[in-house]
C-alpha cells in the first residue's frame, strides 16, 4: 500500500479543504504535525516532516499545499530520508504582495532538482503565485506541471470539494513514480 503524508500550508487546511477530505477518506494518508499551523517556523516544520517520513513504513508520497511546497524543497536538501514522490499544489511566490511575513524563512528556495518525482499543480488565478512562477519552480525542481484553469489558491475557498481531478493527478504521479 502506498503511504501519503499530507502537508497543509499555514492555517492547517480545515475540514472543507481537499487535503482534509482526502485524509478522512483514505487511512493511508496521515498529516504531518508541526507545533503551529498559524505561525510556521521553518526549523519546526522541517523537524515535523522528518519525523513523519521516518515513521512511514515505506518511502511516502508527499501531498503538499502552499507553504509546504516550499518546505519540501528545503527538506529534501537536508534530509537523507527517501520519499517516493511529491504533489506540490498552489506553490506560493514569496515575492507576491500577499505572501505572509511569517513565511519569509521559507522564501530562500534551494536551487536544483528535487530528488524524487514531482508534479506542480497551478491555477491561472492564484493570488499567491502566477502560472509563470509555478512553471519556473517546476522547471527548477524537475517537476511536471499541470495548470488546472481558474481555481484560486486551490484551497477550500476554491469550492473543489473532494477534488477528484486532483486525486487523478495524484494517482498519475504515483504510477509514474513506481515506473
- Contacts of residue 140, defined as CB under 8 A and 6 or more positions apart, other chains included, come to 109, 111, 112, 113
| pLDDT tens per residue, range 26-70 | 999 999 999 999 999 999 999 999 999 999 999 999 999 999 999
Q: How far is CA 102 from CA 36, 78, 146, 161, 179, in A?
A: 12, 22, 28, 28, 38
For the domain spanning 4-178, the CATH number is: 3.40.50.1820
Label residue 170 exposed, middle or buried (CB < 10 Å: 0-12, 13-18, 19+): buried
Counting as low any pLDDT under 50, the low residues of the chain are none
Q: What's the whole-model pTM score?
A: 0.97
Amino acid at each position: 500500500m502506498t503511504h501519503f503524508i499530507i502537508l497543509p500550508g499555514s492555517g492547517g487546511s480545515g475540514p472543507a479543504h481537499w487535503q482534509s477530505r482526502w485524509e478522512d477518506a483514505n487511512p493511508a494518508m496521515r498529516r504531518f504535525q508541526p507545533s503551529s499551523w498559524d505561525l510556521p517556523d521553518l526549523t519546526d516544520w522541517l523537524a515535523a516532516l522528518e519525523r513523519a517520513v521516518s515513521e512511514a513504513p515505506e518511502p511516502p508520497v508527499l501531498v503538499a499545499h502552499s507553504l509546504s511546497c516550499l518546505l519540501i524543497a528545503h527538506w529534501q536538501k537536508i534530509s537523507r530520508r527517501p520519499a517516493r514522490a511529491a504533489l506540490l499544489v498552489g506553490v506560493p511566490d514569496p515575492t507576491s504582495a500577499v505572501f505572509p511575513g511569517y513565511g519569509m524563512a521559507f522564501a530562500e528556495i534551494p536551487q536544483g532538482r528535487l530528488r524524487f518525482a514531482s508534479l506542480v499543480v497551478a491555477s491561472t488565478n492564484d493570488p499567491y503565485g502566477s502560472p509563470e512562477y509555478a512553471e519556473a519552480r517546476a522547471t527548477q525542481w524537475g517537476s511536471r506541471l499541470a495548470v488546472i484553469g481558474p481555481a484560486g489558491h486551490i484551497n477550500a475557498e476554491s469550492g473543489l470539494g473532494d477534488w477528484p481531478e486532483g486525486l487523478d493527478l495524484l494517482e498519475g504521479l504515483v504510477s509514474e513514480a513506481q515506473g
